[in-house]
């Protein structure tokens, strides 16, 4: 039987305030107080894994060992069937801009364009199926851990549509829908997303719901 979370503090292995808020709201009903790795001054480990699970566990273990508290980390990304499931763990890397006028950052339109360009090279009949993945890793300071994997299948469209999402959301149409993730209201998207799928599995096992 997988070890259970008790009430108390949980370190979320992120320096992103938005992600902390989102995860904190999901866990609040279960008596869990969430702290970010950033607020504790914990360093961000290099994501050297070749799978979502490896990277999520790497981040969770680093936060647990450094803080002495149980930690939760996630790793997520897009896989495109016709591109041998790329970009995969390099989903964010495909959006990285080179240094330009002292302002590095991510350009998601560039990343979406790269994917579309690679698909276009394969012809009009190319398989446009894709999936978003999310892996949640719980790690305890003594080394024990648990993994929860979520997935949302769909297909890619072009040009991008919608302004409500982020990342590759404007080109991803979930199966059974006609709108992209960036056209769907956030609360509706959160109910069907890859992250929602992973969290449902975590909650079911950890809290019996």
Give the model's pLDDT for residue 202: 93
pLDDT digits (tens, 9 = 90+) for 3-18: 777 767 899 998 877 7
pLDDT digits (tens, 9 = 90+) for 149-159: 999 999 999 99
Active-site choice (74, 75, 93, 169): 75
Residue 123 has pLDDT above 80, yes or no: yes
Give the model's pLDDT for residue 7: 66
Instruction: Verify whether residue 75 is a known catalytic residue.
Output: yes
pLDDT digits (tens, 9 = 90+) for 43-83: 888 888 899 999 999 999 999 999 999 999 999 999 999 99
Dihedral pair phi/psi, residue 31, rounded to 5°:
75, 25
CA dist., res. 56 & res. 51, Å (int)? 9
Please indicate, yes or no, whether the overall pTM of this predicted structure exceeds 0.75. Answer: yes
Sign for the CA dihedral angle at 44, 95, 133, 188 comes to: positive
Structural domains for the chain: 8-207 (3.90.950.10)
CA dist., res. 173 & res. 192, Å (int)? 12
Place of tokens 């503090």: 9
Place of tokens 């009949």: 125
């Amino acid at each position: 039987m997988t070890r259970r979370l008790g009430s108390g503090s949980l370190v979320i292995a992120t320096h992103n305030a938005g992600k902390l808020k989102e995860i904190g709201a999901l866990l609040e009903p279960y008596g869990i107080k969430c702290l970010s790795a950033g607020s504790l001054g914990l360093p961000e480990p290099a994501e050297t894994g070749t799978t979502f699970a490896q990277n999520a566990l790497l981040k969770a273990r680093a936060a647990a060992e450094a803080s002495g508290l149980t930690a939760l980390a996630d790793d997520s990304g897009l896989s495109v069937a016709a591109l041998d499931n790329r970009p995969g763990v390099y989903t964010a890397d495909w959006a990285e801009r080179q240094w330009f006028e002292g302002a590095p950052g991510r350009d998601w339109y560039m990343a979406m364009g790269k994917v579309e360009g690679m698909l276009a090279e394969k012809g009009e009949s190319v398989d446009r199926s894709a999936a978003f993945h999310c892996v949640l890793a719980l790690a305890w300071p003594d080394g024990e851990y648990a993994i929860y994997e979520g997935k949302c299948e769909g297909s890619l469209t072009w040009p991008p549509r919608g302004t409500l999402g982020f990342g590759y959301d404007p080109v991803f149409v979930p199966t059974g829908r006609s709108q992209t993730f960036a056209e769907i209201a956030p609360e509706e998207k959160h109910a069907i997303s890859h992250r929602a799928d992973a969290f449902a599995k975590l909650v079911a096992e950890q809290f019996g719901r």
